Amino acid sequence: MMAASPRVLDLQGIGKTYRVRGQASASHLRALDDVSLAVDRQQIVGVVGESGCGKSTLARIIIRLETPTEGTALFEGTEIHALRGAELLAYRRRVQLVFQDPYSALAPRMSVEDAIEEPLKIHKIGTAQDRRLQVTKLLDLVGLARELGRRYPHQLSGGQRQRVNIARALALNPRLLLLDEPVSALDVSIQAQVLNLLRDLQQELGLTYVFISHDLRVVNYLCTIVAVMYLGRIVEYGPLQVVFQQPRHPYTLALLQSIPDHTTHSGRHTVVLRGEVPSPVAVPSGCAFHPRCPLAREICRVERPALRSTGPGHVAACHFAEEVSATALIPHMAASTSWP
C-alpha cells in the first residue's frame, strides 16, 4: 500500500512555552519558537544543538509526550495532537522513540524478552506464540544472542541495552523512528557498533529517522539532512554535506569549529565561541544568537531573521548569511580566556 505523499512528518510553527517558578517570580521558558520541519520518507534527518536548544522537547512533541503551545504537527497528513483512542494507538504503532539512557528506558524488573514483547501485547498483535517468535526475530535483527532474552537490564552492558531499546522500538514496524541521543551514553567502540546497526536497519527496513544529537561527528556519519537548533529555533537546515562544508549561520560554523578532531589536530587551533548559552527563560531579542555573534549588527538585535534560502534546499536564519565563512569569523573569535 503506497502512501500518496512522501511527506511523513510536517511540523509548522511549533512553539512550546513552559511556565516556571524561577528564583524571582513566575517566568516563561520558551523551549520552542516557531519551529517548522518537514521529513520525507526514508530520510535521515539530524537535529543538532546544545543544551537549551529544544531538540528533546521537539522529540517529545512529535511522540506526543507533550503538547505544543502553538503550531501544527502533521503525521502523514493527520494532526498528531488531535488523535484519540484507537487512532492514537494506531499512531503509536507508526512512530516510535529510542531513548537516550539505555538503562533507565528499560523497566528494571522486566526481562529482555518481556520488554520487547510488551508493545506487541499492548497492541494485541498475534497469539502468544506469534509474539515469542517475533521477539526472537527482533533479537536477531539487532544482533543480540537469543540467550540474552532471559536476562534483566542490570545484567547487560550499555551497548546491549541500547540494542534492546532499538528492538523494542522496531517491534511494531514503525514508519518513523525518533532517536534521542541514542549513542551519547555509550563508549566510543560500542557507539560504533550501534551506529552501524542503525545504518543497516535503516537501509534494510526502509525506515525514516529523526536523529537528535549534540555530537556533530555522529550526525555527520549517519544523517543526510541536518537541522541546527539554537534556543528553541531552527537556525539552519539543509543537506548535511552542504551545511557542514559551507555553513550559512555563524552558530553552525562556530559549532563545527569547536569540534576537536584528532585526525587533523584542528583542535589545537580551535576557534572558540565566546560566552554562555543564555537561558531559554530570557531569550535575547531579535536574533537569539546576537549577543555571542561576531557578525552581529544593530538589525540583529532588533529584528528576528527568518529562515531564508541560501541554496537548493538550504535555509539559514541570518541577516548576513552570505558573509558567513571561516575567514570572516576567525579574527572576531580569537581564542580567548574571557568573555564580555
Binding to other proteins, residues 236-255 (CB under 8 A): 244, 254-255
Q: Which of 26, 263, 298, 331 binds other proteins (CB under 8 A)?
A: 263
Grid cell digits, residue 290: 546576537
Closest approach, Cβ 111 to other proteins, in A, equals 13
d(CA 131, CA 112): 13
Residue 44 DSSP label: E
**Minimal distance in Å, beta carbon 153 to other proteins?**
9
Neighbours of 104 (CB within 10 A): 12
Indicate which single residue of 5, 67, 78, 155 sits in contact with other proteins (rule: CB under 8 A).
Answer: 155
Among the residue ranges 8-16, 29-37, 283-291, 332-340, the one whose residues contact other proteins (CB under 8 A): 332-340
Restricting to residues 74-93, name those near other proteins by CB under 8 A.
88-89, 92-93
Does 56 interact with other proteins (rule: CB under 8 A)? Answer: no
List CB contacts of 275: < 8 A, sequence separation 6 or more. 291, 292, 339, 340
Shortest spacing between CB 200 and other proteins, in angstroms = 8
Could you give the count of Cα atoms lying within 13 Å of 266 in the half-sphere of its Cβ?
10
Summary count for the chain: helices (H), strands (E): 11, 12
Among 19, 21, 84, 154, binds other proteins (CB under 8 A): 154
Q: Which of 28, 41, 81, 123 binds other proteins (CB under 8 A)?
A: 123
Query: Using the rule CB under 8 A, which residue among 83, 172, 205, 242 binds other proteins?
Result: 172
Record the cell numbers describing residue 323, joined without a space.
Answer: 558573509
Cell, residue 142: 539487532
Q: Smallest gap, in angstroms, from Cβ of residue 56 to other proteins?
A: 12
Helix, strand or coil, per DSSP, at residue 175: coil
